[in-house]
A = this chain, B = another copy of it.
Amino acid sequence: MERKASYRIAVLGATGAVGRRMVETLERRNFPIESLKLLASERSAGQTIAFRGEQLPVERATADSFEGIDIALFSAGATTSQIFAPEAVKRGAVVVDNSSAYRMDPNVPLVVPEVNPHTLDDHQGIIANPNCSTIQLMVALHALREFGLEHVTISTYQAVSGMGQKAVDALREEVAAWQATGTIASTIFPLASQDAHYPQAFNVLPQCDIFLDNGYTKEEMKLVNESRKILELPDLKVSPTAVRVPVLYGHAESVAVRFATPVTPDIARARFAQAENLVVVDEPSAAKYPHPQMAEGTGDTFVGRIRQDLADPHTLLFFVVADNLLKGAAWNAVQIAEELVKRA
């Protein structure tokens, strides 16, 4: 990418929960923008979205939409990425893709800017934004990597907004129905595309995304495979359980990590405190620890409940929280764009 005073940016999927936050984040960060083009499917084209005091029109995306674009932020699903990313790259754009389409492609950097920004040095036009639940885990684990990461056991508490704006609306509707009638008829949780539906309001569902043949969900395997790629630890052991909870915004993760060497909570707390964009909230005596509503609307990752395993000084337990739509998606993508600008 050529160095410039300001850049021509496109956001594909601009009307979605993540796309809207990409636009907001570009504005909040005062990103050096010459022009901003908002793109979506035919269904959403014609809407407008506020940016720097103007209502920008949302256009239907075509291959030619990317003509003259420097950086394109994609958040429109894997199929759409596979259609448009090569077209955008062909026209000279760098694509930061929030879908799963290219994450495990060996030619595509999978980037958490606090963790592996060096991998941006030799991209081939496409850069992948990791999955939301992976990103916040990476920010925390990276801070402790000097102790030798061996085995990560993780159980997640994931917000419905990870399924998009429709799921946010659906949880509100389930709660309203329950208030009015005492019953809930779910049609979207845990997954709109399958036959079996369960209430999500006042319920916990151990299914995020589809099941794979090995009995794990796609979300769980993302935690395994993306963590290994980002940390460059192909043999890292990851034991994941991904669970959807009736929270609107903010994923939480209960994490147990075994290290090659013993690590005390004090040392871990010090390393976490030094890490970029990681906030330590860990005062049990004052009942202070991270929770989703603390993270909502922020770009930071929060860590607390840091304690040694009772039986194994090589293992630490802690609790990690971040806003899944910001650090888990939109903000991480804009951070990558900022890194690209720095490197141009």
Contacts and interface: CB of A to CB of B under 8 A. Distances in A.
A122 interface: no
A194 B287 contact: yes
Interface residues of A, number: 61
Interface string A232-252: 000001110101011110001
A344 interface: no
Interface in A49-79: none
Given A211-B285, A239-B311, A304 B206 contact: yes
A252 B206 contact: yes
Contacts of A292: 202-204
Contacts of A102: none
- Say how many copies of this protein the assembly contains: 2
The majority secondary structure among interface residues of chain A is mixed
A2 interface: no
Contacts of A343: none
Contacts of A246: 202, 245-247
9 nearest A-B pairs in the assembled complex, by CB-CB distance? A237-B311, A155-B155, A215-B307, A155-B254, A211-B284, A196-B287, A241-B254, A157-B204, A206-B319
22 contacts: A155-B254, A157-B243, A176-B179, A191-B287, A195-B287, A198-B291, A198-B293, A202-B293, A203-B291, A204-B247, A204-B252, A205-B291, A206-B291, A215-B307, A216-B310, A237-B312, A238-B310, A238-B311, A241-B305, A243-B319, A246-B247, A254-B254
Interface of A: 151, 153, 155, 157, 175-176, 179, 190-191, 194-196, 198-199, 202-207, 211, 214-216, 224, 237-239, 241, 243, 245-248, 252, 254, 256, 265, 284-294, 304-312, 315, 317, 319
